[in-house]
Homo-oligomer: A and B are copies of this chain.
Amino acid sequence: MKKIIGILGGMGPAATLDAMDKIIKNTPATCDQENIPVITVSFPDIPDRTASILAGRESPLNKMLAALRILESAGAQCIIMPCNTAHYWYEELKASSNIHFINMIEVTCNKIVREGINNVAILATTGTIKAGLYQDRLKKYKVNFVAPDDIQQEIIMESILAYKSGDRKKSYWLMEPVITQLKNMGVEKFIMGCSEIPIILSGCGDKGEYIDATEELVRKAVEWSCLNEDCI
């Protein structure tokens, strides 16, 4: 059997679904039984990540640790967490567990470096931006990047929150003009560095312009699950 992927999800629930959908799409299967086993803990009451990073509100760490313990006990063999902002607590989560835990920010930056991508803008929550989750790695790898200015960032965050509140149309028409502005500034590629953004922008624009962090995370997990398949 292929190895079991555990999803530390619920941040938000639609982003969790998007990751599960991408697992199916990235797995060659001609019948149910050839798919990858997945256990998902989608606990949406995990406190808001951005509010904790920016305003010192309740930390989501304890609830994320509880979800991780459930995944461990349930038999997950590799963990993914389809929420970029939650990776602010990645090291603490990883240190608490013996299970292989794939870092979404790392695999996305690795792709950028591997493909020699430059002039890239980071589309993410204000929590992810202010914590420098992408910037720190991109600087290390000497990749030219743009983080949106404060006004643009406010609009991006409003777009993400609109999606989370169920208003998909609003989320799109808020995000789209910011992307156009950034293109006019010379940006060539965009990191979809919040797991709601691939859903907000799905079906829109030139797919080649976007680097989808959820897609990169899932590809790595699928590859791992299939490579480590038991030969029985």
Contact = CB atoms under 8 A, between A and B. Distances in A.
Contacts of A102: none
Query: In the complex, which of the residues A1, A32, A35 has the most CB atoms of chain B within 10 Å of its own CB atom?
Result: A32
B35 A24 contact: no
Given A37-B42, A42-B37, A42-B40, A14 B10 contact: no
Nearest to A71: B74
A34 interface: yes
A182 B70 CA distance: 47
A45 B12 CA distance: 28
- How many copies of the polypeptide does the oligomer hold? 2
A228 to B, nearest CB: 15
B165 A30 contact: yes
A58 to B, nearest CB: 11
Interface in A1-55: 1, 10-14, 16-17, 20-21, 23-24, 29-48
Contact of A32 (B17, B23, B34, B44): B44
Given A14-B24, A30-B166, A74 B35 contact: no
